[in-house]
Amino acid sequence: MILSQFFNITQIILLETAFKTILDQIAHEIDSHAVCIITNYRVDSTSISYFGDDNSVQSSINLLHLTDFPTFRSDCHIANDDDKRFFIKQMQQSVTNGCAFFVVSSECINQFLDNFHEIHDWVEQRYEKKVLVVVDMTGILSNEEVMKILRHPIVIHDLPLTLVLSPSFLIFNKSYSEDVDWIDIWSAFPYASYMNLYNRYFISNQTYLFDKLAVPKMTVLDGMQVTGSFIHYPPYTAYYRVPPGTGNANIFGSNETKSVLLRGQEHTILVEFCLKYNCTLVARLEYDEELWGESFSNHTGFGIIGALVMRDANVSCAALYLWDNTYEFTQYSAIIQRATITHVLPKPKPLPYWQTPILPFPGYIWGYVLGAFLIGAIILFLVNLTQANFNINEENNAEYGLFDSIYAVFMMSIFQGVNINIEFMSNIVLFTVLLIYALVIGNLYAGGLASVMTVTRYEEPIDSLEKLVESNFMWGAPAWDWIFTIQQSEYPPFKKFIKNYIVKPIPDIHKLVKQQKFAVTLETMQHGTLSYQEYMDKDDSKFLMMTKEPVYWQDSVFMTSKTWPFMEQLNRMVLMQQESGIRYYLEQQAAVQTMDYDIQRNIEENAKPPDGAEPVKLSIQHILGALFLLLFGILNLVLTEIEPHSVCIFTNNSNKHEISMLDMNLEIPSIVINCEDARFVENFRNGIKLGCNFYLTMIDCVWMLLENFRSVHDFIVEKYLIKYLVVLDLHKIIDTFSLFNHTTIIEDIPETLLLSMDLENSLQEKSIKFYYFWDSVNLFNEYFVHNQSLLFEKSFFHNYEMLNLQGRELRVSLVVYTPFSHAKFNDEQGLDVDGTDVYLVKEFCKKHNCTISYNFVYEGDVYGIIYDNFTGFGIFGATGSRRTHISIGAPYMTIFLFPYTILSLPTQQSKIINLVPIPRPLSYTKTPLLPFPFQIWGLVCLTYLIGIITVFFVQKLSFSKTTQHNETKSIIGNAIFTIIRISVFQSMVLKKTTGIHALIVLILLFFSLIIGTLYDGGFASVLTVTRFEKPISTVAELVESNYQWKGITIAYLYPIELTQDPFLRKYIDNFIVVPLTEIKNQDHKTSIFLTELTQNRAVCNLDNMMDHISAQNYMVAKEELTGQYTTVIAHKTWPFMEYMNRIIYAVTESGIREYWEFKVINNVMDYSIQRIVDENNRFMDKNNGPVPISVDHIIGALIALGVGYVVSILAFILEIISFYLKK
């Protein structure tokens, strides 16, 4: 009775088996960890039952046993809030336990989709690929209801891999027929074809209508909109509003297309992502004030991170780190690069020159010195006092009072003579000790002063976090994000750094930077590019430096909303830029496009220590030796310290072939291109953009492919070093000779394989013959169909070691540019070539058996230029237009060459420098005057004149007050003679008539000691180091000079052609290109030559620019114009660059390039000219350093003298008043 209520138990079992087969195939294909099965509450633990209107059971299908994978069941019955919370909690536990495959009954789909975000927002588990299968077990879903599910917003934006399984009949319908027993499979992806049936499963014979994957691959997003939240943060991210149609992204909320241009390393990856997967990038740009922002526990936030949390955007980037506080709310991509957090702050300033007289000794040593002198004076006074009390020296006139003792000790300390009573051993010992001590202290002071005069003293640099947090600087940035990584640290400097971290707007930070009171927290990219933003301008960068020790380092990533479904595809782009090594190029490109290189260079230069060795600072040990009468001498100082991406299948209408190319299901991504399509070239180009470097074509499409191969590759950025071509000939309608002798195959795709087969033969006779370009004369291999075997066991293509070019011609264009390349016509041998790049090419042909032919360019601008139509002149034009295969002679890795050529790995790093005239020495007749500038001579003479007048009046008044006889004194002569004796360190007799006289003399003696020592130090510097005119060291000095700057090519300036620096712009605008044949005939008195300095410091093309005589007047300017990497360039489709890169890598690793360079210099260059210029630089370097004395050097002495004058005059007035009062 009960069984009669069921329609057909057999059909239920068949339907259940069909569902199980489909679901298991899906689970296996996506490698699912577990399956979530979501059913209605009316379903018991083992089955799903359909209830009729009278509540009688009509059918029953076991859903829980439809898959062999681990399953988690959830009940979707939601009658109230408690049921909803229970459902969400069940689903969250399932997701946590590994569910990324959701099987949902049609009754539960709305509950599942409505709560999808909340389910995933509160779990930590994430899956790059999630699959939803909606099972219509009763077959009651209409086509409109299926379409509604497939276009649900959650399905479109979060679950594109959604399938609907709909049986073709109602399981309770008694009109069932075996002719209609199938299950329709509908798919939400691809987006453009969701209305078309994806597949159909026939229950009776368990087969599919189409041979497709169970779950479609997401390779083309059909223009799907990807919304990004962006800020302007170069060089990571940058954006510029441009006229519609000229950009690479749309602006959110605008009807204009491509009205924003995204730049920067991370933006470039996103742009390439949408180019590869055909999506539309939409930029939200309203976050420049909120910047990165923050996320909160209620799934809200602000800034670009908040936009992801609230799903206002899909993806974001701008040096986003692996922060733990945002991990709960977002998805992280693979690591893009490593970033270093550091500080930029003011560099140390020189100590003020007015401190010169006291800089030789630290303050505590001055205390020791003065204390020792005072103790000596007291001892001398006590000794003389004792001798007087005991009448020991009553006949000796050399009595010493306390003032006399102090004066005597002071006189000895400044190398003045004093009267010594040698009758007593105590006096001899005491004066000997004092004289030796004075000698040691005086020489230490003179040495210290000479050191101060020679090498400028600087403040102590702040080069670590520990020093920064203890300094008076403020530090911070425009956002809190820089401290998220370390906010839980217990390291004391980190805690103090976080406590005092300041967040201010960028304009306020700029003001503080200009006031030199602020340390800006910022970051450097993996290859050293500094992200300095608008915190500073070019003028600020001249006094800023980067700290030597970083604060910490982090890894930057892309962040996306938590359920964004395309993270797997984005990660492929991120990993590709790491694997290919293009990350360095993207960083350099971003720096050039978005930032000022001069600011970067200034900050890097400021972090270097000042030129010259640091002087030895005096310490207390130096004084202790003198204090103990040099018993142990001066203590010795101790030195411390130190991996085809995708396939393009070319075919025409598939019904023309016995084998349809459209039915080929390859394991790697493939793009089908119809060679009869009017958009063939466009489709071919798009295929390459999507990663095609392997081409599979039928014989009737091969000629179309070959004729368009070069033009397609010429106008796209993507390049693949090795490209493969496989041609299928099913009727033997082509011979190998006509195919393999096509120019494109010979020049661009030598890795070509012809598969030939005659379909008309019997099975036993059928075989596929392989013909390979490199062995076109012979049968390369053969595959026998009947037994599925190969004739030879060998690889289909050659590997690196097996490549044999069979003596084919390698056309090389080169210039005379020693030591990189050199060419000279020889009557006996023809063109004689040499150079490090020439040796590189020779090594390539030696290993791979090729013949080199050289195209020697020697007229006009030898490097030349490449135009947009791939024509040009010079060696660049020759290679860009394919007249030659490669060009050598130190071409640079510039952005200008990248769209038109293939660049090899760097061959070496060199510098672009200027050869400038050496400065002339100053006339030796000026030697006596050179220690002091003229203004200092004036001040010194004026000071001595005041001293003569002062002594004159003091002596005159003193004589008029104390003389009791009618003596006539030549007072003015005596005053002049007194000052002269003092100024030249001569002893003098002190008139002890008044104390004021002695005080003035002591002041003058002290002033003369300082001035004399300064003059001695300056004189010694002048006689030791020849003084020269100011050299031309920088580009700014060069462009303001009267010289002309010239070079053999404009290619020198390509790396800086986009600069906005005014001096570099003036340099570029006035640069003169001189042909190689005329460069040596230029006027060397008015010319500066632009050339290159190799990694081993050889000046390029030097002997082609000057001879021995003119070389004696030139040196290398201290500041280089720029630094660049040299490379080997090849035309856009040259197929052997990978092999050339291996040669370059081996040369770099072995270190033989340095030997090659010296060999070339010895063979073709005049080394003596190199040596002359090198010696000129060394000579100037040795003579670079003495500090000319200025007014600031003697201002301390002048202040002391002025104070002394005032004290002396006041004391003198007091003496006169006292004298008249007594009288």
Which of residues 208, 235, 262 is at a domain's end? 208
- Let me know: does 48 contact 64? Beta carbons within 8 Å: no
**1117 vs 716, higher pLDDT:** 1117
Residue 644's pLDDT band, with cuts at 50, 70 and 90, is low
Residue 306 to residue 230: CA distance in whole angstroms: 12
In a domain, 279, yes or no: no
Distance, CA of 912 to CA of 1049 (rounded, Å): 12
CA 400 to CA 421: how far, in whole Å? 11
Is the residue at 98 inside a domain?
Answer: yes
**Token pair 């200008």: residue:** 896
Q: Counting beta carbons within 10 angstroms of the beta carbon of residue 403, is it exposed (0 to 12), middle (13 to 18) or buried (19 or more)?
A: middle
> Rounded to the nearest 10 degrees, what angle do helices 363-389 and 425-454 cross at?
160
Q: Where is pLDDT greater, at 307 or 1151?
A: 307
Distance separating alpha carbons of residues 1124 and 893, to the nearest angstrom:
7
pLDDT for the residue numbered 174: 45
User: Does residue 487 lie in a domain region?
Assistant: no
- Structural domains in the chain (count): 5
* Residue 748 phi, psi dihedral angles, 5° rounding: -120, -35
Give DSSP secondary structure letters for 349-376.
PBPPGGGGGGTTS-HHHHHHHHHHHHHH
- How would residue 925 be classed by pLDDT, with cut points 50, 70 and 90? low
Q: Judge contact between 266 and 323, C-beta under 8 A.
A: no
Whether 862 contacts 1076, CB under 8 Å = yes
Best mean pLDDT range from 43-52, 840-849, 982-991: 840-849
Task: Give the list of residues 6+ apart from residue 483 with CB closer than 8 angstroms, or none.
Answer: 497, 498, 501
Integer CA distances (angstroms), 147 to 142, 156, 222, in order: 9, 12, 18
pLDDT at residue 466 greater than cutoff 60? yes
Q: What distance in Å separates the CA atoms of residue 424 and residue 383, rounded to the nearest whole number? A: 10
The mean pLDDT value for 995-1013 works out to: 73
In this prediction, residue 116 carries a pLDDT of 92
In a domain, 1081, yes or no: no
Residue 64 pLDDT level (bands cut at 50, 70, 90): low
Nearest CA to 124 out of 285, 291, 327 is that of: 327
Query: What percent of the chain has pLDDT above 90?
Result: 19
CB within 8 Å of 432: residues ≥ 6 apart: none
- For 167-176, what is the mean pLDDT? 56
Q: Where do the H-state alpha helices sit in 543-596?
A: 567-580, 582-594
| Cα→Cα distances 725→460, 772, 773, 797, 1081, Å | 65, 10, 10, 11, 53
Hey, what amino acid is at 1082?
Answer: Q
Measured distance CA(317)–CA(304) in Å, rounded: 8
Under the banding of pLDDT at 50, 70 and 90, the label for residue 1070 is: very high
Output the 3-class SS for 121-134. HCCCCCCCCCEEEE
DSSP 954-986: HHHHHHHHH--S-----HHHHHHHHHHHHHTT-
Residue 54 has pLDDT above 50, yes or no: no
Q: Rounded to 5 degrees, what are φ and ψ at 39? A: -130, 170
DSSP annotation of 545 reads E
Helix extents (H) in 581-664: 582-594, 597-606, 620-627
979 or 160, higher pLDDT: 160
pLDDT at 178 over 70: no
Give 1046 or 637, the one with higher predicted confidence.
Answer: 1046
Give pLDDT, residue 463: 84
Q: What is the DSSP string of 1062-1109?
A: HHHHHHHHT-EE--TTTGGGS-TTSEEEEEEE-TT-PBTTGGGT--HH
Beta carbons within 10 angstroms of residue 506's beta carbon? 15
Residue 158 is predicted with a pLDDT of 92
Q: Please provide the size of the chain in residues.
A: 1223
**What's the pLDDT band for 996 if we cut at 50, 70, 90?**
low
Q: What is the pLDDT of residue 729?
A: 79
Burial class (CB in 10 A: 0-12, 13-18, 19+), 270: buried
Model confidence at 259, pLDDT cuts 50, 70, 90, reads very high
- Final residue in a domain of this structure, among 149, 173, 208: 208
Residue 729 counted as domain residue: yes
Locate tokens 């990324």: which residue? 100
User: Would residue 1177 count as lying in a domain?
Assistant: no
Token pair 């915190």 is at which residue?
535
Phi first, then psi: what are they for 290, rounded to 5°?
-80, -20
Domain boundary among 784, 811, 834: 784
What pLDDT does residue 622 have? 35
Kindly state the average pLDDT of the residues 637-664: 53
Strand partners, 99: 34
Instruction: Name the band, by pLDDT with cuts 50, 70 and 90, for residue 941.
Output: confident
Helix (H, G, I), strand (E, B) or coil at 252: coil
Predicted local confidence at residue 939, as pLDDT = 80
Range of the domain at 1009: 934-956+968-1017
d(CA 930, CA 92): 85
Question: Would you say 10 and 162 are in contact if contact means Cβ atoms under 8 Å apart?
Answer: no
- pLDDT at residue number 387: 67
DSSP H helices in 234-323: 265-277, 303-309
Q: Where are the beta strands (DSSP E) in 115-274?
A: 131-135, 162-167, 182-187, 199-202, 207-208, 224-229, 238-241, 250-251, 260-263
| Residue 957 pLDDT exceeds 70 | no
Distances (CA, A) of 1198 to 198, 452, 1007: 97, 18, 8
Q: Is the pLDDT of residue 927 over 90?
A: no
Rounded Cα distance between 168 and 58, Å, is 18
Has residue 27 been placed in a domain? yes
3 state SS of 87: helix
Per DSSP, 774 falls in state G
Two tokens at 677? 């399509």
Peptide bond into 235 cis (omega under 30): yes
- Of residues 1181 and 823, the one with the higher pLDDT is 823
Is 1091's pLDDT higher than 80? yes
Report the DSSP beta bridge partners of residue 162: 132
Task: Indicate the average pLDDT of the chain.
Answer: 79
Q: Is the peptide bond before 819 cis (omega within 30 degrees of 0)?
A: yes
Query: Per the domain annotation, does 295 fall within a domain?
Result: no
What digits encode the pLDDT tens for the residues 5-29?
344 566 777 778 888 888 888 888 8
Pick the range with the lowest mean pLDDT from 423-427, 544-548, 882-886, 943-947.
423-427
Split at pLDDT 50, 70, 90, the class of 796 is low
Whether residue 630 has pLDDT greater than 50: no
Amino acid at 1093: L
CA dihedral 101, 103, 108, 110 (to 10 degrees): 40
Interaxial angle between packed helices 1137-1150 and 1152-1164, expressed in degrees from 0 to 180 and rounded to the nearest 10: 90
3-state DSSP of 480-518: CHHHCCCCCCCCHHHHHHHHCEEECCHHHHHHHHHCCCE
Residue 984 pLDDT grade (very low, low, confident, very high; cuts 50, 70, 90): low
pLDDT the model gives residue 1140: 92
How far apart are alpha carbons 774 and 711 in whole angstroms?
A: 25
First-residue to last-residue Cα distance in the chain: 155
The pLDDT value recorded for residue 810 is: 93
Over residues 363-381, the mean pLDDT reads 81
Of 117-131, 629-643, 734-748, the range with the lowest mean pLDDT is: 629-643
> Is residue 1219 over pLDDT 80?
no
Beta-bridge partners for 315: 228, 560
Comparing 856 with 286, which gets the higher pLDDT?
Answer: 286
pLDDT tens digits, residue range 524-537? 888 888 887 788 88
